[in-house]
Structures are given as structure tokens and as C-alpha cells.
Amino acid sequence: MARNSLSPQISIEIIEFVRANEMRKGEHLPLQKLADTFRVSRAPIMSALRKLEERGIVRAEANRGYFLNIDSDKIDVASRSEHAQGSDREEPIYFRIAEDRLSGVLPEKVSESELMRIYDLPRTKLLKILHRISDEGWIERLPGNGWTFRQTLTSRKSYEEGYVFRAVIEQQAMLLPSFEPNYEGFLKAREVQTALGDGGYEHWSRAEIFKANNDFHEMLVACSGNEFFLDSIKRINRLRRLVEYHVTIDRSRLPKQTIEHLHILDLLETDRRTEAAAFLYTHIMGAGRIKTPQL
Amino acid sequence: MARNSLSPQISIEIIEFVRANEMRKGEHLPLQKLADTFRVSRAPIMSALRKLEERGIVRAEANRGYFLNIDSDKIDVASRSEHAQGSDREEPIYFRIAEDRLSGVLPEKVSESELMRIYDLPRTKLLKILHRISDEGWIERLPGNGWTFRQTLTSRKSYEEGYVFRAVIEQQAMLLPSFEPNYEGFLKAREVQTALGDGGYEHWSRAEIFKANNDFHEMLVACSGNEFFLDSIKRINRLRRLVEYHVTIDRSRLPKQTIEHLHILDLLETDRRTEAAAFLYTHIMGAGRIKTPQL
DNA sequence: ATTTACATAATATAATTATAAAATACAATT
DNA sequence: AATTGTATTTTATAATTATATTATGTAAAT
């Protein structure tokens, strides 16, 4: 009857935080600092820490707060992902809606009440999801009752237009005067792409492959220093994720793709930005031209 | 206790519809056709027509439906705009929020309950507005309670980045292979721009001037035939509207602006697209560079 | 075959309320 | 001075309900 607690989600974030900062056993975890980091008050941090204490990951000392009870790299990943599921009831339903629409289970026009029944959601939760979808541009509220799905997800034309848009935006972002190479980012991207090309393309999950690919492109656009370029790429990538998840991924194309990604990094690191931008353009257009998803 | 009726809004739309189609006295107004046009059921169309009947604009015949009772060009505009206000309780509050944020009345972080009290809105209405704003990218939901305004509206940096984004997108849209000149649209745009340059810039309202300007640019991008380009321009223009409304418009620059707009049309109509695109780019960048709003 | 007109069903809003969670103020502790 | 721990206030969610509106099925009229 009340809202879901943030603490499961916060617990995960705390674990990710201590791992990212490579914290060691015994280090202090100040409440306010964590609260600021996750943009909440101290209250949900407290309850998250209490739960982590039960799991033995942190240790409480009276009037001194919580301390890491184990080296951060020793925290087992299994327990993380397990808890991640229960925490977010929205994401899976968001995907189910996308899937159901793409496979034709959901009609073009639907009412809120229908969706509440189908997915067994309270109105507030459903509306949150619908607004997110509408933000992503593939559903629209009708003036009277109901919502309609737009063609964005399902039409071949939109699919191709999306590739053109990405190719142009990313190329132009790279050509902006404000573009500044992020050599550290290049290095990390290089590692990921190498791992992916080095056999990773055969056993990584679809989501992991897609994320690696997206991160690469978004990292490049982030170098432009222009939030509008980055936002528009993020926006279209969220959309792309849904469509690409629905079609079978063509793993045979991945080695070529990673080689091209590495080539772009080569060009950028040797100050051949115009060349890199041109290559990036053909790289994206090529990807859009060859794949033919069943839409 | 129940929702607001659509009929005031529909009444306005019906009047706009018959005017746009230059319908004459006596023409039939089929329910289903209007319903399809406005994407609602026949019910709200019925009640809208009943209200128009009271105002003498349409006439009912038993079992035959409604007929226009006056030539569409004779319908007085005054009664239209008057009714437009009462119909939409959201738009004015949306603007008040923008204004209050830009002028610093609203703090960076606000709770829903606070906003409900300040603007005297039920939660559903407020949330609709907040989601719209969040879609436009200048507010964000926090993980716990409350929302934070983002820098998008208020920072000088974002303002300039927006101009760069527009310049690039619009130029590139014009260079796309899918670009197809819309000569009819050019003609209408030419009329508007001529009227604006021909004295209109002195007495048109801020909103009218801004709309004329925006329509011009969106018309150009629409010729690209790529919905992603058009969407991203529309998105950034909605944002721009808020900022530009808040600063005093510099009317002295309008004659130059309209001349440049007309020049772009000249170039496009004589098949000099590359030239037009290049000129468009400098046109937008010029506008962004010179103006210095108080942010 | 359309279209209207009416009856009925389905839908969404707003108001209300209980409740758990988040935010915050402040004294106590280090 | 900074941080914790507790108490208090504020907030948002979910469930419920009344009601006006929208949507729709169908017979009657054109």
C-alpha cells in the first residue's frame, strides 16, 4: 500500500560504489557522502546499510557508523545480480510491452485499464512506464481515452532513418570544434573492444554485446562536449536496443565491427579526426544497410 | 471529480477544421469523419457540435446530423481564442513553472506536494505537466522524493550548445539524399516571412513571431523526410521557446532575419541546395552568437 | 451503404485515506 | 567540526470510490 523501498537498489549501488573505488576492509562509509552520491537522504542509506550488515558485507560500530567488512573485490557478484531483479519491477514490464508490441500481441491502440489488467500493475506504476515510453517516442497519448503505439519501433523506414540520423550526428559530433579526445576513455574502450573481438563475441550475452557497442559510440559523442548531441544519441540508442533485442543478433558481423571500432580509435589517437569522422559515418551506415531485421 | 471534457477543445478544432477546408454554409459535418480526424470517438464530437449549435455556428437536422450554418471564413476569430483559454488548464501552468524556474522563484529541488500546493493542482494534472517537462529534458525525477531542475534551461553553456546543435542538424537535414523540396510549403513560408519583414516585426506578438520563425525552420527540416531529424529539432525548439520567451525579444534583428529566411528559399527554389545549407548554418550560428540573454 | 441517435459499457479523473518510506531537525557522540 | 542515531515531519504510493466523460454496439432513418 505504500511505495517500494529504495534500499534494495541502494544496497546494490553501494556495492558497486565500493568496488568502483576499490575500497578495502575497514574503510568508513559516511552516510551523508553516500546520500549525496545517490541523490537521496540518509534514511534509505541507513536501511540499505543495515541490510548489508545482515549479509556481513559491512559492520556497524555504535556512534561511529558503518565500515566495510570485506575487501571490495571479494564481494561475490552472484548475490548482486540476484538482488537486482527483485528491486526493479518496472524494467521487465517495460521490456514485455516492447516485446508484445513488436510481436503483434498488443494492438496499435490500447487503454490504460487494459494494460493494468494485462500486466497486473497499479495505475501509478503503469503510467510511469507509459510516460517513459512516450518519452522514447514509441507511444502517444490520445486526446480521449487510450494510447497508440507509433510506427517508430515497427517500420522499416524508421529503422533506416535511425541509422542515417546516428551516422550524421556521430560524424558531426566528432567534427565539432568543442570535441576533445578522451584518451583514458579510448583506452578503456580499446580493452572492451579487444575482449569482444577476442572471442567475446561468441559467448557474451546479447545485452552485454549491445551495451559494449553502445558505450563505445556514446563515449565518442561525449567527447563533443555538447549535451544535445549526446542526448539525442542516447535517446535513439534506447529505441534501438528494443528493436535489436527482438531480432536475432548476427554474431558473424561482430569481429568486423570491433576491428572498425579499434580503427576509429587508432585514427583519433593519431590526430586524424576528419578521417575518423568519415570512417565512423560509413561504419554506421554500413551496419544499417546490411542487417535486415524481420519487422 | 471527473476529468475535464474534451468538447471545448474539440469545438475549437472543428472551427479550425472547417476554416482550413474553406467549407461553406450548408455543408455536412459527418460525426465519424470528425472523430477520425481528431482521433477520438463520436461522443465528444457530438457534445462539441451541440455547443456549436448553441452558438449558431452549426445547425442540427433530425436523423441527418449537423450542418455548417455559416461560411467558414465568416466565423469570428475572437470567440475562438476566448474559448481556447478555458479549455487548457495545463499550458499556462507549464509556462508559469518555466517562468518561476528561470526567475529563480523555484529552487533547484522541489517535491510534488510542494508544487501541488503552489499551483493548486491535483496530483494527476501536475504529474502530466512534470512528465512533459521531463520529456523536454529540463526536470528530472530523483530516486527518492522530489524532482530537480536541470541546467538545460538556465545555463549559458547549454544555450550555446543548442545553437550549435540546431545549426548542424538543420544543415545536415538539408543535405540528406532524402531531402525533397516542398514548393508549396516554401510559398506559404515566403508569405509569412514577407508579412513579418513588411512591418509585422513591429506589432506581432512575441508568440506569433517566435512561431513564425520556428515554423520556418521545422518546415525546412520536414523536407528531409527523416522523422528523427524533425523530432530532434522540434524537441529543442520547445525548449528554446521557454528561454526566448523569458528574455526580451530583440525586434531590431528581425528584418535581417526574415531577409535571410527569404534568401534560403531563393536558393532552394533555384536548386542550390548545398549553398542553402551552408547559408542556413551560418544563419543559425549567427543568431546564437549575437544575442546575449540574461541567464 | 452510410450515417445518426440512443443505450450501454468502459474508461479515466479527482478526491480520499492508510501506510511505509524518505527527508529532516537536532541532540549525542566522537 | 563532523558524523551518527533518534524522533518528527513530510512525502509518495497504492487502494478505493464516485462520477462525468469517452467509446461502442445497434436499431432506425436516410
pLDDT, tens digit, 9 for 90 and up, residues B96-120:
999 999 999 999 999 999 999 999 9
CA B14, CA A104: separation in Å to the nearest integer? 34
For residue A144, give the nearest of B41, B134, B226 by CB distance.
B41
Residue B86: closest CA among B171, B26, B174, B9: B9
Kindly tell me if the per-residue pLDDT of B251 is higher than 90: no
Would you tell me the crossing angle of helices A156-175 and A206-222 to the nearest 10 degrees? 40
B180/B76: higher pLDDT: B180
Strands B139-141 and B109-110: unpaired
A73 — pLDDT class (breaks 50, 70, 90): confident
Q: Which of A87, A228, A238 to mutate to test the interface with B (most CBs of B within 10 A)?
A: A228
Ranking A117-131, A242-256, B251-265 by mean pLDDT, the lowest is A242-256
The pLDDT, as a whole number, for residue A79 is 54
**Residues pairing with A231 in the sheet:** none
Q: Which three cell numbers stand for residue A227?
A: 549535451
The pLDDT, as a whole number, for residue B249 is 74
Triad B254, B255, B261: Cα angle to 5°: 85
Q: Taking CA atoms, what residue in B is nearest to A158?
A: B227
The pLDDT, as a whole number, for residue A294 is 44
B64 nearest nt, CA–C1': C4
Q: Which of B142, B159, B165 to mutate to test the interface with A (most CBs of A within 10 A)?
A: B165
CA B222, CA A89: separation in Å to the nearest integer? 39
Kindly tell me if the per-residue pLDDT of B33 is higher than 90: yes
Say yes or no: B180 contacts chain A, CB-CB below 8 A. no
Render pLDDT for B149-175 as a digit per residue (tens, 0 to 9): 999 888 889 999 999 999 999 999 999
Q: Which of chain C's bases lie under 7 Å from a protein CB?
A: 2-7, 10-16, 18-25, 28-30
Residue nearest to nucleotide C14 (CA to C1'): B1
Q: Specify the residue for cell string 523506414.
A: A157
CA B91, CA B4: separation in Å to the nearest integer? 14
Q: Which three cell numbers stand for residue B70?
A: 455559416
- Contact (CB, 8 A) for B149 and B158: no
* Å between CA of B84 and C1' of C4: 29
* Å between CA of A153 and C1' of C15: 38
B79 — pLDDT class (breaks 50, 70, 90): low
The pLDDT, as a whole number, for residue B253 is 85
CA B56, CA B69: separation in Å to the nearest integer? 7
Is residue B79 exposed (0-12), middle (13-18) or buried (19+ Cβ within 10 Å)?
Answer: middle
Residue A217: closest CA among A243, A198, A235, A244: A235
Q: Which three cell numbers stand for residue A248?
A: 536475432
**B66 φ/ψ angles, rounded to the nearest 5 degrees:** -110, 145
Distances (CA, A) of A242 to A94, A208, A210, B159: 10, 14, 11, 32
Buried b (16+ CB within 10 A) or exposed e, A241-264: bbbbbbeebeeeebeebbebbbeb
Buried b (16+ CB within 10 A) or exposed e, A102-113: beeebeeebebe
For residue A144, give the nearest of B44, B127, B135 by CB distance.
B44
A207 — pLDDT class (breaks 50, 70, 90): confident
- Contact (CB, 8 A) for B220 and B264: yes
Kindly tell me if the per-residue pLDDT of B84 is higher than 70: no
Kindly tell me if the per-residue pLDDT of B218 is higher than 80: yes
A64 nearest nt, CA–C1': D4
Say yes or no: A127 contacts chain B, CB-CB below 8 A. yes
Say yes or no: B146 contacts chain A, CB-CB below 8 A. no
Contact: A39, B127; criterion CB under 8 Å = no
Say yes or no: A236 contacts chain B, CB-CB below 8 A. yes
Triad A167, A168, A169: Cα angle to 5°: 95
